[in-house]
Chain A
Amino acid sequence: MILNICNKPSIWHLLLLLLFSPSPAQALSIEMATQPGKLKYDVEVFSVRPSEQVRLTFVNNDEMQHNLLILQGKEGITLKVAQMAWALGPGAVEKEFVPDMDETVLAHTRVLNPGEKQTLSFQAPESEGKYPYVCTLPGHAFSMKGIMVVTSDPSSVTDVQEEEKKLSNDAFVLKPHHKPLVKRAFVRDGPPRAISVGIPGGINFCFDAESCMVTFGWFGPFLDIGPDWGRNAGQRGGGSVNVLGERFQSGQTMFPIRVGGKYITPQVSFKGYQLRGKETPVFEFTVNGAWVKETVSASEKGIGLTYSFEMDPGLVTPIFVYLDRSNAEVEASHGKWDGNWLKIEPENIASFSISHYRQP
């Protein structure tokens, strides 16, 4: 929404300020909150005059942590900065999810817990233009962002995020806000028996219920299901849904598990899945008769996925797990790597996991 047409008291205040007190000595007050549960700021565009003194209060009225960074840079800088923040790893919290990019980050809040607020006081840049702002908590940057427009003519500011808005208002875009979403439909360049899963935070993946493997992942928004549903009465639907983010490799370039030896052809049979509320679903299948439960979650190390397997602890031989390690980092809870093969000893078969990710 555009700030200067909002009807909240603080914004009326701002309007009055703009209309009646153009004195540069008076700081411009802006109050920003979230659209609870939607991973969005409630103000997605606002305007300031060049060099104007700004007091921006960010109120975290959501149920999860957020921050706010005002940036300098081209379109796309929001995601770049957010990825740098995510890559801070365990040190991220200490640094308030703010990467060391002094020239890019003009101002920022700390990480605000639900119910907290913080006021930033800063001078707007001298040069006119668009300055994006973003929340850099993991995954939020895909939707939680906006633009500060520096202009000497605030009335000229229009809704520059029309496209973005269209996407978020599109009834055919599935949005996993509070819990993972599962959607079965054909996926563009995916398998026919695809099960797409969107995890809140912007990591998504496609599981093939025929080959029982994760065919690819993507980060960004989840799915546009318009081609499956048909967008209007004239469309038959049944088409391949659109993956909205940027694809990444799952590492599962073939069905990963071998029971009894690396070169024993796996016979797989999909058995279904279980939803677990806020947790990602559990897929179940058999390989050469052995029952497997696989949970796929977002990697905490970078952009990628963590595969957690549970298998029948009664197996007496080691199993081998294949994962393509090229162009990715991997981390396994158990086992020994030999090239792309991970050997898991029988005592660890009951529960083991492998992360496959890359640094942003």
Chain B
Amino acid sequence: MRSKISMNLKLTFSRLSTVLAIVCSNYFLETSNAAAHAPAGYIVETLEIPEGVTLGVGGLAFAPDDALFVTSREGQVWRLKDDEWSLFADGLHEVLGIYIDPVTAEVWVMQRPELTKLIDEDGDGSADVFRTVNADWGLTDNYHEYAFGIVRDSGGNFYGTLNTSLSWKGWAGSSKWDVGRVHDGKMGRATKYRGWSFQITPDGRFVPWSSGMRSPAGIGMNRHEEIFYTDNQGDWNGSSTLQHVVKGRFHGHPSSLMDHPDFQGKDLNAIPVETYDELRTPPAVFFIHGDLANSPGEPVFNETGGQFGPFEDQVFVGDQSRSNLMRIYLEKVQGEYQGAIFNFIDPMQTGIVRNQFDKNGVLYVGQTGRGWRSVGSEIFGLQTVRWDRRTTPVEMHSIRLTTTGFEIRFTQPMDETLLRDVNQFSIQHWKYLYRPEYGSPKADKTKVTPANVKVSHDGMRVRFDVPLLTGRVYEFKALGMKSKSGGDLTNPIGWYTLNHLRLNDTR
């Protein structure tokens, strides 16, 4: 029993007497949760975890029968169906991803050492056959060599990501993994394909997909089968990022290039930072380290047909250390994704790593706080976020780049006097340095003043001109902004990552 509220509800539990024990579960409501600062209309609820179970969530997926499967860092797979928990698999090696076929209900999990299909051959409700699908990447006993995943495309190909090794002796405690550090970065490549995303084909072949990842803790795919991953701030990563995965792409962390055919026999330390900078594809969106996120997890696309409020097609991502949920608006400019990020719910009960929508548009949030001193009252858990389907929150819906500036769209009509007042917006931009050092300051901070402010007839959009510079993050603060009916913005700051200028605006 984990919380005061659950005791009020007088939930009763059967004891976990065997590993296969089934226990009851219930939801309880946290209405007007003061701790979780959520936009109006969004309700956070906490799921009960079976007593005595440590469930550091590593993966979430729904089966065709709506059962929720939860995988854990502790190597278990739990199944929640009709408020009852049962153990589907045990004894696995740190399961940080799961995929369930929406038709056949076949289950695959991403373990640290391999991609595995879990089969319940005798039909007793727990897996008895553990079929290795692929294990062609290198693995040492370095604790940081995580394997994250998994998504699958309509062709039956799986995609996942492989963390670099913690190689710097000062942190790793040993020099045995000190291979592949470039320009004295902290992370390296103690064995093959660390820092790569991969594809595993339906016939089980491993295909190296894109390189340059550091700590790629989450992977997501939208309905167009475009793949995105998040990377964590650190060496070669000035701040955490959301990046678009495309075959052959180099995302910026050079240790992975040891396994790139074009770099065989080359000394990666002889290649200057500037060359790597030219080779890399810049991140679609920067998370703002310190202000917003320190270690983002799985990006999930809100493709719920409006069931999750006014933010359709936006990306929802949680942070493992700050325990907040964020929202990302993406747009294509010159053929590449970039966009804006906003805080959404801050904080939740502990570090967030995984998100999945159920068929009713309820967002399930998988949490584990262990290891990085996460904000919050719990060490692990599961929460849901649902929209009440009535209330329109007061938020910036999106920030769009125009040819001469930006257009901010709100979720409802705003106070037009405030909207026209240039002083209501505090705007600055900076760049994150691409460098082997750990993280980056907000370099070259520059304040700008908007000009040519124009408000749409419905009072929901404002556009203005500002000087546009690529390779920078623009911050828009509207602390005093109010809706037409007098409501404050729940999250009054938005950040736009500007990589490419818009050449012509058809809107």
A: residues with CB less than 8 A from B are 181-186, 192-193, 209-210, 228-230, 232-240, 270-276
A235 and B75 contact, CB distance less than 8 A: no
A209 and B140 contact, CB distance less than 8 A: no
* Closest A residue, CB atoms, query B54: A229
A273 and B130 contact, CB distance less than 8 A: yes
Instruction: List the B side residues contacting A229 at CB < 8 Å.
Output: 54, 73-74
A230 and B371 contact, CB distance less than 8 A: yes
Bound: A275/B117 CA distance, A? 14
With A273-B130, A274-B128, A274-B129 already in contact, the answer to whether A233 and B91 are too (CB < 8 A) is no
By CB atoms of chain A within 10 A, which of B91, B371, B379 has the most?
B91
With A270-B132, A270-B135, A271-B132 already in contact, the answer to whether A235 and B370 are too (CB < 8 A) is yes
A192 and B140 contact, CB distance less than 8 A: yes
Partner of A239, one of B90, B116, B139, B143: B143
Instruction: List the B side residues contacting A272 at CB < 8 Å.
Output: 116-117, 129-132
Instruction: List the A side residues contacting B112 at CB < 8 Å.
Output: 238
CB distance from A280 to the nearest CB of B (A): 13
B91 and A193 contact, CB distance less than 8 A: no
Bound: A209/B369 CA distance, A? 30
Partner of B144, one of A183, A186, A238, A275: A238
Cβ of B489 within 8 Å of any chain A Cβ, yes or no, is no
B91 and A181 contact, CB distance less than 8 A: yes
Partner of B113, one of A181, A184, A233, A271: A184
Interface residues of B in 112-154 (CB under 8 A from A): 112-114, 116-117, 121, 127-132, 135, 139-141, 143-144, 146
Bound: A185/B128 CA distance, A? 18
* Closest A residue, CB atoms, query B122: A277
Interface residue SS majority, chain A: loop
With A209-B114, A229-B54, A230-B371 already in contact, the answer to whether A192 and B135 are too (CB < 8 A) is no
Instruction: List the A side residues contacting B73 at CB < 8 Å.
Output: 229, 237
Q: What are 7 residue pairs bridging A and B, where the CB atoms are less than 8 Å apart in the complex?
A: A183-B75, A184-B111, A192-B140, A193-B135, A209-B113, A240-B141, A275-B129
Interface residues of B in 340-388 (CB under 8 A from A): 369-373, 379
Cβ of B231 within 8 Å of any chain A Cβ, yes or no, is no
Bound: A228/B324 CA distance, A? 26
Bound: A185/B90 CA distance, A? 12
B130 and A193 contact, CB distance less than 8 A: no
Bound: A228/B146 CA distance, A? 13
A210 and B130 contact, CB distance less than 8 A: no
A186 and B141 contact, CB distance less than 8 A: yes
A185 and B370 contact, CB distance less than 8 A: no
CB distance from A360 to the nearest CB of B (A): 29
Cβ of B93 within 8 Å of any chain A Cβ, yes or no, is yes
A235 and B131 contact, CB distance less than 8 A: no
By CB atoms of chain B within 10 A, which of A181, A235, A236, A276 has the most?
A236
A271 and B91 contact, CB distance less than 8 A: no
Instruction: List the A side residues contacting B75 at CB < 8 Å.
Output: 183-185, 228
Cβ of B298 within 8 Å of any chain A Cβ, yes or no, is no
Cβ of B57 within 8 Å of any chain A Cβ, yes or no, is no
Bound: A182/B76 CA distance, A? 12
Instruction: List the B side residues contacting A209 at CB < 8 Å.
Output: 113-114, 132, 135
Cβ of B235 within 8 Å of any chain A Cβ, yes or no, is no
CB distance from B348 to the nearest CB of A (A): 16
In the complex, besides A184-B111, A270-B114, A274-B128, 13 extra interface pairs with C-beta distance below 8 angstroms are: A182-B90, A183-B75, A192-B139, A230-B371, A233-B369, A233-B370, A233-B371, A235-B371, A236-B143, A238-B143, A239-B143, A270-B132, A271-B132
B91 and A184 contact, CB distance less than 8 A: yes
Chain B interface residue bracket vs A: 35 or more
* Closest A residue, CB atoms, query B144: A238
10 A-B pairs with least C-beta separation: A238-B143, A236-B371, A184-B93, A272-B131, A182-B91, A193-B113, A192-B139, A186-B141, A272-B132, A275-B128
Instruction: List the B side residues contacting A239 at CB < 8 Å.
Output: 143
Instruction: List the A side residues contacting B379 at CB < 8 Å.
Output: 233
Cβ of B94 within 8 Å of any chain A Cβ, yes or no, is yes
B92 and A184 contact, CB distance less than 8 A: yes
Instruction: List the A side residues contacting B113 at CB < 8 Å.
Output: 184, 192-193, 209
Bound: A232/B91 CA distance, A? 20
Interface residues of B in 33-75 (CB under 8 A from A): 54, 73-75
Bound: A192/B138 CA distance, A? 9
A210 and B135 contact, CB distance less than 8 A: yes
Instruction: List the B side residues contacting A185 at CB < 8 Å.
Output: 75, 93-94
Bound: A4/B121 CA distance, A? 50
* Closest A residue, CB atoms, query B94: A238
With A192-B141, A209-B132 already in contact, the answer to whether A236 and B111 are too (CB < 8 A) is no
- Bitwise interface map of B from 369 to 409 toward A, beta carbon under 8 Å scored 1, else 0: 11111000001000000000000000000000000000000
Instruction: List the A side residues contacting B140 at CB < 8 Å.
Output: 192
A237 and B143 contact, CB distance less than 8 A: yes
Instruction: List the A side residues contacting B370 at CB < 8 Å.
Output: 230, 232-237
A271 and B131 contact, CB distance less than 8 A: yes
Instruction: List the A side residues contacting B93 at CB < 8 Å.
Output: 184-185
By CB atoms of chain A within 10 A, which of B93, B129, B369 has the most?
B93
Bound: A237/B140 CA distance, A? 15
CB distance from A277 to the nearest CB of B (A): 8
Bound: A272/B89 CA distance, A? 14
A193 and B139 contact, CB distance less than 8 A: yes
Bound: A336/B173 CA distance, A? 49
Instruction: List the A side residues contacting B116 at CB < 8 Å.
Output: 272
Bound: A234/B128 CA distance, A? 33
Bound: A186/B112 CA distance, A? 10
CB distance from A291 to the nearest CB of B (A): 13
* Closest B residue, CB atoms, query A192: B139
Bound: A272/B140 CA distance, A? 20
Bound: A230/B94 CA distance, A? 12
Bound: A182/B127 CA distance, A? 13
Bound: A275/B302 CA distance, A? 39
CB distance from A172 to the nearest CB of B (A): 10
- Bitwise interface map of B from 330 to 345 toward A, beta carbon under 8 Å scored 1, else 0: 0000000000000000
CB distance from B297 to the nearest CB of A (A): 15
* Closest A residue, CB atoms, query B369: A233
B373 and A234 contact, CB distance less than 8 A: yes
B371 and A234 contact, CB distance less than 8 A: yes
CB distance from A28 to the nearest CB of B (A): 35
Bound: A237/B91 CA distance, A? 15
Instruction: List the B side residues contacting A270 at CB < 8 Å.
Output: 114, 132, 135
CB distance from A120 to the nearest CB of B (A): 33
B371 and A183 contact, CB distance less than 8 A: no
* Closest B residue, CB atoms, query A235: B371
* Closest A residue, CB atoms, query B92: A184
Interface residues of B in 272-304 (CB under 8 A from A): none
CB distance from A222 to the nearest CB of B (A): 11
* Closest A residue, CB atoms, query B121: A274
CB distance from A57 to the nearest CB of B (A): 28
Bound: A270/B379 CA distance, A? 35
* Closest B residue, CB atoms, query A179: B19
CB distance from A225 to the nearest CB of B (A): 8
Bound: A150/B113 CA distance, A? 53
Instruction: List the B side residues contacting A182 at CB < 8 Å.
Output: 90-91
Instruction: List the B side residues contacting A193 at CB < 8 Å.
Output: 113-114, 135, 139
By CB atoms of chain B within 10 A, which of A270, A272, A274, A276 has the most?
A272
CB distance from B110 to the nearest CB of A (A): 13
Bound: A243/B417 CA distance, A? 70
Bound: A209/B92 CA distance, A? 13
Bound: A342/B170 CA distance, A? 48
CB distance from B373 to the nearest CB of A (A): 7
* Closest A residue, CB atoms, query B373: A234
